[in-house]
Structure formats: C-alpha cells, structure tokens
Amino acid sequence: MSSQSGGGAPSAAQVKTERLLNLVLVLLYARRPLAKAQIRRLVPQYGQSASTEAFERMFERDKDELRELGIPLVTEDIDAFHDDEPGYRIHQRDYALPDIAFEPDELAVLGLASRTWAQASLAGPAAQALRKLRAAGVERDTESLIGIEPRLRTAEPAFDAVKDAVVRRVPLTFTYRRPEAAEGAERRVQPWSLVSWHGRWYLNAWDLDREAPRVFRLSRISGTVRRAGRPGSFEVPADHEPRVMVDSMAGSATQPSPAVLRVRVGAGHALRLRARTVGEVDDEWSLVDLDYGDVWSFAEEVAGYGADIVVEQPPELVDAVVERLRGTLAAHGGGGS
C-alpha cells in the first residue's frame, strides 16, 4: 500500500481530495440547486475557511477543477426568490457512466479497488457531509448516489491504528484471536506491511515473543491496538515482499460451519444467494440457513447489515456480531450496550 511520510497529519493533496469528494456528494445528493452559502455550510472543509473571500476563491478553483475532470457541475436558477443568485448541482443523468463491459481479470482488479476504497478514511468526511445535508433538510435525490449502500462501517476497526504504525514503524501490542482458540492472546509485534489479500486485510509483522515473522488478519484483532515503542524504532527487512509473505503464511481455509439468520424482507440479498434454504417467517422476516468459514470475518459481514439481520445460531456468531457492533459504536463515540 502507498503511505504518506512524516506524521499523521493529512497532506495538502489528501485535504483537497476530501474536499472535492464532499462537494461532489453534496451536489449529487441535492434534488434542487444549492446556493453558495448552503454549500459552504454543508461541505466541512469550506466551513473551516478563514473568511468569505477565502471560501469564494477556494470554491471557484474547485468548480474549475471538477469541470476539468469531466464532472458536469452546472449553474441553474434556484427559484423565483433567488433570481439574482445562481445555484449549483450535478445531474445524475450526466454524471453516470454509460454501460461498460469488463473482462474477468479487470473485474477482479476493480473489486479489490472498491474494497480498498471502502476501507479508506475518506468515508468519515463523506459521511459527515451527508449527515449535514440531512440535518439541513436538503431534499434528497435518492437515485443519485450510485454505489453507496446503507451499511454500517464495521470492517477492520484496527485498520487506522495498524496503518499508522506501519507507516511510522511503531511497535504494537494487541489481542489476537485465532480461529481455533476460544480466547485471544496478547501479541507484541513490529509491523512491516499491510496487504489486502483475497478481500481481507492482513498485517505482516515480526512477532517479538516468538522471534519469527507472522501474518495477522485484521478482523481477528480485538480491543484496542496499543503503541509499544517510538516511531522509527525498527527497520523493515530490505527483502520483505508483503504479498509473498501473506500468500505463504495466511494459513489454510477453515471448515465451514452452519448459521441461521433472521433477515428482514428486502435486505441481505448477498446472503440469500449463498443460502441453502430461505424460509418466510412473516411479512417482515425470512429465515436464512447458510454456511460460513471464519467466524470473525462472517461477523463483520453480518454486522454490516445493522438491524436488518439477527443471528439465531450459533452462539459464537451471536457473540462475534455483538462485539463488532459494540466496536463500531465505540469508534463513533457511542456508549451503552
């Protein structure tokens, strides 16, 4: 993975990318044109501008850049009461791509890229922009936000802390659960690299207690990831090949286990497709019977559906999903059970 140098502060390019992404989301989301004052309130980075003049200059540059990128940002009249002020929006019909055909290998690469993008920290500012739109009562164009699913971001709670430690070469301590173990064990490591492999994130590291290289699946890290040393306190071996290490050490697949889920009607389509049986409980719920491999990986997927799925069996999957949801709540500043 590529990384930024130095400390944890985002670079100017990252700040600009977040701002442009938020601007596109805001203008796609709105059913009607938005005035500049509304846009300033709704895009977080514009609200941080020191003055109206600074915002005006930034917004004009951003408009030009989006148009140079081919994004159809248009100027329209807002309504009869704002005849002296233009409004701005992006029409979905102009923004959407035409149908494109891809070869199987191209689809595989795009799938990996989409999973990587979904995990990226841009999700936070984008979600903040959408929350501001809802709070401001902006009428939503429900068909415009192509590909954005109403899923909780539960995947890999340890991602940000581990990514920062890899970039800055900081030793870590965390609790790690192996598939065959009922309880987690504390691990002390020097993180070497972070790799997305077969749709999962893995940490390549030197295990300080075992004095050997090890690979850790991020979804099996539970609790808080803690720093255990200073930045730059170790060197990554010059011959380290991240993907080769994951490929050789990630381990064999676990035996499938059965699960029974209560799935809300109209939700969980990916799970229904993999099910052995699907039975209707009532007008609101279906009972879905399917197999899964690793309990923690499957718990991530199930937890991502939020209240649309309830685990009936087995108990260990119930516990894993509850832990994932609690971790998500804690990561977003929530409390309670």
In a domain, 21, yes or no: yes
Q: Are residues 220 and 292 in the same domain?
A: no
In a domain, 59, yes or no: yes
pLDDT digit string, tens, across residues 314-334: 998 998 888 888 877 776 665
Average pLDDT over residues 242-259: 74
Are 225 and 186 contacting, i.e. CB atoms less than 8 angstroms apart?
A: no
Print the domain residue range for 276.
257-331
pLDDT at 11: 66
In a domain, 116, yes or no: yes
Which of 76-85, 151-160, 208-217, 259-268 has the weakest average pLDDT?
Answer: 151-160
Our count of domains for the chain comes to: 3
By three-state DSSP, how is residue 290 classified? strand
User: Going by C-beta distance under 8 Å and a sequence separation of 6 or more, which residues neighbour residue 194?
Assistant: 1, 162, 163, 166, 201, 202, 203, 204, 242
Q: Are residues 96 and 117 in the same domain?
A: yes
What's the pTM value of the predicted model, to 2 decimals? 0.42
Q: Are residues 163 and 65 in the same domain?
A: no
In a domain, 129, yes or no: yes
pLDDT digit string, tens, across residues 159-214: 888 988 988 899 999 999 876 666 788 999 999 998 877 667 889 999 999 999 99
Report how far residue 293's alpha carbon sits from residue 14's, in angstroms, rounded to the nearest whole number: 37
Q: Are residues 109 and 33 in the same domain?
A: yes
pLDDT band at 26 (very low <50, low <70, confident <90, very high): confident
Average pLDDT over residues 52-74: 87
Q: Are residues 222 and 276 in the same domain?
A: no
Average pLDDT over residues 40-47: 84
